[in-house]
Structure 1
Amino acid sequence: MKKSLWPIWMLLLVLAGCTGQVAHEVPSSVPDTEEPARESRSERVEGDFVYRLVSEQGEYAAGEQVQLYAELEYTGEEDEITISHAASPFWFPIRELTREYDISYGMNEPLLHTTLKKGEPLREYYKGAYGYNGEDNDAYKQFIKSLDNGFPEGRYVVYGSADFLVQAPEIEGEAEAPDVYKLTTEIEFVVK
């Protein structure tokens, strides 16, 4: 029975990959400006994986390039492991706390595969993938447009995640369903 489920899982993954671009949104329970600031670096460990989310500085000057990146490191027993993911395993939705604006993070969702070597982190820098729709107000649209010139003054929380699948090994010729990972953490930075 388990062997017959494997083609269904793959079909679902391929269909999900054909849906085009998807945006990860900011979580619905967001902090207000009265909460203490988070660190500019955070790490989450789950199973054989370490996910890191980093802002190279906690504070940036207005107009300065904000440097955010995510890393995924494999720490298991094998020399390497292959993961499956969208255009990237990393998502960077952001909330600006001063204005209470959400900056979603969109990307295409093909089914790609990346091999991680044990102890060698995969690193990717934030590449602003944001937008707005016709229902958004003019102030929000102006804010989103201004991001093309860097982050304006404000306090920002990054709700990062690493989303990927790992195919379980076949046992006695039967394929198991893939292991699904979604490692999340939050960091913060300020632009003055």
Structure 2
Amino acid sequence: MKRLLHFLLLLLTLLLAACGTAEEPANGDSSASVEDYTVKATEAEATEGDFIYRLVSEKEEYASGGPVELYAELEYIGDLETIDIFHAASPFYFPMEEKTRSYEIHYGMEEPLITTTLTKGEPLREKYSGSGGYSDQDDDAYIEFTKNIMNKQFLEGYYVVEGYADFYTEPPENGQPNYKLQAEIDFKVVDK
């Protein structure tokens, strides 16, 4: 009788776990498919102080094997006519994750100190121009996937971009706090 009770309790636990719903498949679930995901936002923005950051995917869905069309904007909305910002090679970062494979797509950046002048009400815009990187320690499937991304040949999947703009309004040595405005968008790549 005690064994039967334990079995029923275990069965009930498994049934309850199976009936639970999740917004997206669990990471590492190799059976996850692009159809299991719903695109939530192809445009997002964040505001901090006198700056607005926008992150945009031109489409909700792209064809497999081709590029994607993403861009970021930074707009100054303060009281001055112009303002200088200080940043690495670009103030914009486009790191992303392909969720069906649980692959991170890194976004490297050269780090010289560059000054850009923003004019009030005129957004600075930059298109996504590719990303990715791997080491010889990564598995072959990840390396092959990353090589495709680096060649702007996105494979079928569900991609989430956790983009951000990172910059200062005074040279960093002056102790000025930096801005890091973040936004998240997503899109699908499907076989057509």
Structure 2 length normalisation: TM-score? 0.76
- Count of equivalent residues: 156
Q: Which moved more, 1:59-68 or 1:137-146?
A: 59-68
Bigger share in strand:
1
2:156 counterpart (147, 153, 156) = 153
The one-letter amino acid of 1:151's match is F
On the 8 A contact 1:55/1:187 being kept in 2, the answer is yes
Contact 1:81 1:117 in 2 (8 A): yes
Query: Take 1:149 and 1:113, find their aligned partners in 2: how far apart are those partners?
Result: 29
Q: Secondary structure at the residue paired with 1:141?
A: helix
**Alignment correspondent of 2:29:** none
Partner of 1:24: none
Tell me which of 38, 41, 50 is aligned to 2:40. Answer: 38
Q: What does residue 76 of structure 1 align with?
A: 78
Segments of 5+ residues of structure 1 without an aligned counterpart are 1-30, 169-174
> Could you say which residue in structure 2 is the equivalent of 1:7?
none
How many Å separate the matches in 1 of 2:187 and 2:37? 14
Matched, 1:165 2:160: no
Residue pairs, 1:68-107, within 5 angstroms: 68-107=70-109
| Percentage of matched positions with identical amino acids | 53
Q: CA RMSD in A?
A: 1.9
**1:166 match: secondary structure:** coil
Shift in Å at residue 37 of structure 1? 3.2
Query: Deviating runs (4+, > 4 A) in structure 1?
Result: none
Q: CA deviation at 1:107?
A: 1.3
Residue 177 of structure 1 corresponds to 175
Q: What is the identity, as a one-letter code, of the residue corresponding to 1:129?
A: S
Contact 1:107 1:129 in 2 (8 A): no
- Aligned-partner SS, 2:144: helix
Going from structure 1 to structure 2, the CA distance change for 1:149 and 1:182 (only over 3 Å counts) comes to: closer
Taking the aligned partners of 1:36 and 1:142, their CA distance within structure 2 comes to 26
Structure 2 residue ranges without an equivalent (≥5): 1-22, 26-35
Is the CA contact 1:94–1:159 (under 8 Å) kept in the aligned structure 2?
A: yes
- What is the TM-score with the length of structure 1 in the denominator? 0.76
The equivalent of 2:119 in structure 1 is 117
| Deviation, structure 1 residue 61 | 1.4
| Aligned equivalent of 1:187, options 166, 185, 188 | 185
